[in-house]
Structure 1
Amino acid sequence: MSIRFDGRVAIVTGAGNGLGRSHALCLAARGAKVVVNDLGGSVDGSGGSSDAAKAVVAEIEAAGGEAIANGANVTDMAQVEAMVADAMDKWRRVDILVNNAGVLRDKSFSNVEMKDFSFVLDVHLMGSVNCSKAVWNIMREQNYGRIAMTTSSSGLYGNFGQTNYGAAKMGVIGLMNTLVIEGAKYGIKVNALSPCAATRMTEGLIPDNLLELLTPESVTPALLYIVSDDSPNRTIITAGAGTYARSIVYETGGKWLAEDERTPEKIAEHWAEIADPATQAEYTSGNDQTTNMLTKAANGLGIKL
């Protein structure tokens, strides 16, 4: 099976450097027409220049592909809508959105300033919301769409000094989960990439002798898979140094307690059973949790379902 994107139009945010650049180049190499979006700021989001995006476009065109550069700030909905309008004017459709733009303003929680906390959430989470919203109705009308969120181990598992970044990166998983449900009947699939790569954001965080293993190019194959025609849905794929895995949120089956047992002491007494990993399952909507709880309650009370 060969994965191609001929006839598809992709928007990649934060595509001037690092992972976004790799994503844009590889999508174009496999036939996609690409909007290379990059504000051109530094790692902390300051400054701005369109030079990086234009350089990526030049690479794509030199290889025989089609691309346009765009400097929209993903936190500005008007700019995002204008970017999508430019893609529609040129190619009449948008098939793929890669929400990759991001910034870092790392500090321990006791020292982080709230303006920096809000800014990081705005870029990662609201940037993904803005871009997804701007393409959503287009994808619905086409009855086709692929949206990729970019999450992180910092959100899924935590990382010192990254409360703002971690909160934003877990936030996009909540966004993904509900967009999957709302997009299902319109041919829209939404997945998330959790990358580990040596980029401007990881400088100084990883020993130099290991950095050469964490290339953006080793992450991009996972991105290409989750935005392909035969992609999975509601999937978090992790990628780094040639290793690919799936991250899953599970919930244990739990234990029902009768009304006279609903005390913290009884929860402590039954904790091993409540937390038993042998009973865990992956839920695909909030209704799954409610169904499990009501089923157990009904069984405990002798109510026939």
Structure 2
Amino acid sequence: MTGILEGRVAIVTGAGRGLGRAHALELARQGAAVVVNDLGTSGSGEGASRTPAEQVAAAIRAAGGEAVTNGADVADFAAAEALVAQAVETFGGLDVLVNNAGFVRDRMLVNTSEEEWDAVVRVHLKGHFAMLRHAAAYWRREAKAGRPRAARVINTSSGAGLQGSVGQGTYSAAKAGIAGLTLVAAEELAPYGVTVNAIAPSARTRMTDGPFATKMAKPADGFDAMDPANVSPVVAWLASAEAGDVTGRVIEIEGGQICVEDAWRHGPAHDLGARWDAADVGPALRELLGRAAAPEPVYGARPAPAAQPDGARA
């Protein structure tokens, strides 16, 4: 199997199903040797099974590629370190890390339990950190030893993390954290030749079966805009040596559309040159808000009420 990733070694976490499966298959199709990681849990993070990862690895090998499996919990710090070591020991190095593993437990904030919060933040945010931390340590050692690698990290954020999503406060917070982590990691790892980007995919997976089932439904015919495989070519390019000048970006992908997110930029400002009096803050801040771009609507937000005629009351 040859392509833009020929000779490169990749880890894909959560690669047993959905987006991770599509990523692993596409990276292998482009020539990468792939460590297929999946804990094999349910959509809400319960249970474990090696079968999903084994099926993906078998499909890669059947197509002529190279793949091994790993069943580690990526949020287990020691297990994440062992996963990086497995890639290095099996294939002689590591060039690409695709952080994809995760699950959801949708709840409104007033109904979210501490256990649900901890579980979701752990697998998404800590899972990204643990894998990134150990992969980065390996790449730093290689660079200091005079063996720099054109390494690439592709994290997985979400529109929920960028614009928010009603009923997904925990998931949104974790995904927003991943976007912030991506920006910092891109800067810190640049001296070692490592790029770090994030994707915000929109696709049909177990995590979208609930609140977005209608939008994600498979069409009877024509282009399936919600097929997870639509996202993976972008991941493959970001994983390539060619993408060395692209870092610290969050890229949203839906169907055939690629969108570079433009969030958290400095907007209108007013410097008083002294400490503000609280009574003066309101008028100044309202003037700045009037000049700032309106925020993107939160997914699932109630539509704004229709304007009423003069004298009418809602």
TM-score scaled by structure 2? 0.84
Alpha-carbon offset, residue 265 of structure 1: 3.3
Give the structure 1 partner of residue 229 of structure 2: 217
Aligned: 1:26 with 2:26:
yes
Q: Is this contact kept in 1: 2:5–2:239, CA < 8 A?
A: no
Q: Is this contact kept in 1: 2:120–2:171, CA < 8 A?
A: yes
Aligned mate of 1:256, from 266, 271, 285: 271
Q: Distance in 1 between matches of 2:215 and 2:124?
A: 29
Q: Distance in 2 between matches of 1:156 and 1:50?
A: 32
Alpha-carbon offset, residue 263 of structure 1: 2.1
TM-score scaled by structure 1? 0.86
Give the structure 2 partner of residue 109 of structure 1: 109
Higher relative contact order at CA 8 Å, sep ≥6: structure 1 or structure 2? Answer: 2
Q: Is this contact kept in 2: 1:237–1:246, CA < 8 A?
A: yes
Alignment of 1:238-249 (within 5 A): 238-249=252-263
Structure 2 portions without partners, runs of 5+: 219-224, 294-314
Q: Distance in 1 between matches of 2:4 and 2:58?
A: 21
Q: Is this contact kept in 1: 2:3–2:31, CA < 8 A?
A: no
Q: Distance in 2 between matches of 1:78 and 1:235?
A: 28
Give the structure 1 partner of residue 91 of structure 2: 91
Aligned mate of 2:198, from 170, 192, 197: 192
| Partner SS for 1:167 | helix
Give the structure 1 partner of residue 306 of structure 2: none
Q: Distance in 2 between matches of 1:174 and 1:208?
A: 30
Aligned mate of 1:170, from 170, 176, 191: 176
Aligned: 1:267 with 2:281:
yes
Question: What whole-Å deviation, never above 9, does each CA across 1:62-104 have from its counterpart, x for those lacking one?
Answer: 1100000110001111211222111111112110000000011
Alpha-carbon offset, residue 207 of structure 1: 4.5
Pair 225,253 (structure 1): closer, same or farther in 2 beyond 3 Å:
farther
- Partner amino acid for 2:189? G
Q: Distance in 2 between matches of 1:188 and 1:268?
A: 44
Alpha-carbon offset, residue 242 of structure 1: 1.5
Aligned mate of 1:228, from 220, 240, 244: 240
- Partner amino acid for 1:177? L
Alpha-carbon offset, residue 209 of structure 1: 7.0
Aligned alpha-carbon RMSD (Å): 1.8
Alpha-carbon offset, residue 210 of structure 1: 4.8
Q: How many residues align structurally?
A: 276
Give the structure 1 partner of residue 221 of structure 2: none
| Partner SS for 1:270 | helix
| Partner SS for 1:221 | helix
| Partner SS for 1:101 | coil
Q: Distance in 1 between matches of 2:280 and 2:215?
A: 51
Q: Distance in 2 between matches of 1:114 and 1:230?
A: 43
Percent same amino acid among aligned pairs?
39
Q: Distance in 1 between matches of 2:42 and 2:69?
A: 18
Alignment of 1:41-60 (within 5 A): 41-60=41-60
- Partner amino acid for 1:20? G
Give the structure 2 partner of residue 121 of structure 1: 121
Q: Distance in 2 between matches of 1:82 and 1:209?
A: 39
- Partner amino acid for 1:176? T
Name the structure with the higher helix share: 1
| Partner SS for 1:251 | coil
Q: Distance in 1 between matches of 2:179 and 2:212?
A: 25
Alpha-carbon offset, residue 226 of structure 1: 2.2
| More divergent stretch after superposition (140-149 vs 86-95) | 140-149
| More divergent stretch after superposition (205-214 vs 160-169) | 205-214
Give the structure 2 partner of residue 4 of structure 1: 4
